[in-house]
Amino acid sequence: RRKIIIDTDPGQDDAIAILLALASPEELDVLAIVAVAGNVGLHHNATNARKIIELAGRPEVPVYAGCARPIRRPLVTAEHVHGETGLDGPELPAPGVQLQAQHGVDYIIDTLMAADPGTITLCTLGPLTNIAMALIKQPAIAPRIAEIVMMGGAYFEVGNITPAAEFNIYVDPEAADIVMRCGAPITMLPLDVTHQMQSTPERLAALLALGNNTSKAAHAMLTFSEAFDLAKYGWAGAPLHDPTVIAWLLRPELFSGRHCNVKIELASALTAGMTVADYWHVTGRDRNVNYLRHGDAAGFYTLLLERLARLP
Ligand code: BDR
Ligand code: CA
């Protein structure tokens, strides 16, 4: 059973990822959820995380708030996709559980330092600010991280917030650069994979047909957030990003890619946050990332629906 910390900016697709993890207790022990600024401001994201654990019937999972802004740049948000609250769509009650008092970055540091090395996986579904700040404050955590599994970046599918950059990396490229160079094993689920995971009308209908409360809420979330992407791409279904991180932990055979070097563009205004993946190994640079490029969408949705059906 893998111990995971989910670092996130929920976000409808983040919410589905958290639900998928909470619905998989045999494989995953969710130690905590740490919110970060991204899709919307930190306050909303931290509130949304608590709404989601309550929706899943798991109010005991602790929720922490991390950093309210990127390391160097002004915060860029995405209300145009996720709505004013970041989780528009379903009517969810205000959370009853409290946010933990400790800062999310300190929680990450203390937890990694206290656990046996190589036993905790960091799942990142938003900008990498909290992880980078933890690495800066306590560099000794790096060799203790089992793995960082992140939704972020793009190479073959280039960008979604700019022509060159994916949102999570674009928001805090300096943080992403620190994480890419930290030495811990990294698996990336970039747009190259998530653009293949399209939520077609049939898949959304199957989600709603599960009939439980959580799936109805999940359906309302995706119906809201995907409207923007459907108009943007003109595809039959919108991409589903963050749940691929959890799906990879559960069913890695659904994905394929290769180990290669990934560096983050920091200097250029035109391409800031670009994840330059040396997929063809033309540079000889370190293979610092397990870069996933393909995903089995049918298998992914089968897994997702099977697991969400288990929730209240
Ligand atoms: C990423 O950006 C956010 O809007 C989504 O939640 C996902 O993490 C996709 O680029
Ligand atoms: Ca996210």
Question: CA 5 from chain center: how many Å?
Answer: 11
CA dihedral in degrees (211, 202, 154, 51; nearest 10)? -20
What is the distance in A from the centroid of ligand 2 to the CA of 150? 10
pLDDT of 245 strictly over 90: yes
- Catalytic annotation present for 241: yes
CA distance 111 to 28: 16
DSSP-derived secondary structure for 265-291: --S-TTTTT-EEE-TT--S-----EEE
Number of H helices, E strands in the chain: 12, 12
- Is the pLDDT at 299 greater than 90? The verdict is yes
Residue 32 in contact with residue 62, Cβ under 8 Å?
A: yes
* ipTM associated with this complex: 0.99
Return the pLDDT at 227. 87
pLDDT score for 181: 98
Ligand 1 pocket, 168 CB below 6 A?
yes
What are the CA-CA distances from residue 288 to residues 105, 157, 251 (Å)? 23, 20, 22
Q: What pLDDT digit, counting tens, does each position of 134-149 carry?
A: 999 999 999 999 999 9
Coil, strand or helix: which one is 198? strand
Over residues 167-190, the pLDDT tens digits come to 999 999 999 999 999 999 999 999
- What's the whole-number average pLDDT of the chain? 97
User: Per-residue pLDDT for 79 more than 90?
Assistant: yes
Q: Which of 44, 241, 281, 294 is catalytic?
A: 241
